[in-house]
A and B are shown apart, each in its own frame.
Chain A
Amino acid sequence: MASLVCVGAISGAHGVSGRLRIKSFCQTATDIFRYQPFYDAAGQREYIFSFVGSKGAQLIAEMQDVATRQQAQELKGTRLFAARHRFPATEPDEYYHTDLIGLTVVDGGGQVLGYVHNVVNFGASDVLEVVGDEKRQIQIPFTRSAVPIVDLSTRRVVVDWNEDAA
């Protein structure tokens, strides 16, 4: 099974006819349905939905063989995983968070600083949260000057960042 990425979760039942409420973790909520079929965490069970509509932040969908509210309730909490290869190609200098998370971070001299724990954006630019020795966190802006090399093939990020300078 190809690598799987969690793109959503079933948050409960909607109505009495077996419809499901789906919480999307995608940048554009409805994009989740472009990545079908979904799998469970182990990649064993397959889920295919048909989109019905949305209610607030939740998406409403129907699934084959789920016709009652009780059947829908039983699926509550199921996390939906999509195959990574179904994601569209990115533009140059654009990376999926899921590809960046886990990469080893090294400085110009080849010294390992830690690994990418998370990618966040608070409105300015994207920031790599790097966790190093003794769970020490370093925040590095995801800019060409601070992160000159991103090598997904060797799963390595080279940074030019002096955290202690102020």
Chain B
Amino acid sequence: MARSVWKGPFVDADVLRKAERARESGRKDVIRIWSRRSTILPQFVGLTFGVHNGRKFIPVFVTENMIGQKFGEYSPTRTFHGHAGDRKAKRS
């Protein structure tokens, strides 16, 4: 069941605080967070979060199309390493 709209998006307070501090300082360091349940807000766009997956911090560079989703969606707890094949990586 979807979350009621009147409640607004859920974000852990420390995530908001860390993001605000990073934005004010203008530094581009990774912001380490454990809160996988927090919603990605518009003010996080352009920041890089290190989202903990239980073992390590996965860097998540936030872009506009990620707004409204949870941080945990971008930091899988189970990884499958396939073959490189002809896969390409784009430097964003």
| Structural contact, B59 and A25, CB atoms closer than 8 A | no
Select which of B79, B85, B88, B91 is within 8 A of A5 by beta carbon: B85
The size of the chain A interface, using a CB distance under 8 A, is 46
Task: Give complex CA distance A100, B86 in Å.
Answer: 12
| Structural contact, B73 and A7, CB atoms closer than 8 A | no
Residues of A within 8 A of B86 (CB): 5, 7, 25-27, 31, 35, 87, 96, 98
Instruction: Give the residue name and chain of the A residue nearest to B76 (CB).
Output: A122
* Min C-beta distance of B24 to chain A, whole Å: 15
Residues of B within 8 A of A93 (CB): 90-91
Task: Give complex CA distance A95, B62 in Å.
Answer: 21
| Structural contact, B56 and A25, CB atoms closer than 8 A | no
Does A101 touch B at the CB level, under 8 Å? Answer: yes
Residues of B within 8 A of A87 (CB): 86
Residues of B within 8 A of A5 (CB): 84-86
Given contacts A122-B76, A143-B91, A150-B91, contact A25 B82 (CB under 8 A): yes
Given contacts A96-B88, A142-B89, A144-B92, contact A127 B58 (CB under 8 A): yes
Interface residue range, chain B: 20 to 34
Select which of B62, B66, B89 is within 8 A of A97 by beta carbon: B89
Given contacts A139-B57, A139-B58, A141-B59, contact A94 B84 (CB under 8 A): no
Q: Tell me whether chain B's interface is mostly helix, strand or loop, or mixed.
A: loop
* Min C-beta distance of A89 to chain B, whole Å: 11
Given contacts A95-B91, A165-B29, contact A139 B85 (CB under 8 A): no
Instruction: Give the residue name and chain of the A residue nearest to B83 (CB).
Output: A25
Chain B residues 9-68 with CB under 8 Å of chain A are 27-32, 48, 50, 56-63, 66
Does A166 touch B at the CB level, under 8 Å? Answer: yes
Task: Give complex CA distance A126, B48 in Å.
Answer: 12
Chain A residues 105-136 with CB under 8 Å of chain B are 118-127
Given contacts A94-B91, A124-B60, A142-B92, 7 further A-B contacts (CB under 8 A): A26-B87, A27-B88, A94-B88, A96-B84, A96-B88, A97-B88, A139-B58
Chain B positions within 8 Å of A, measured between CB atoms, are 27-32, 48, 50, 56-63, 66, 73-76, 79, 81-92
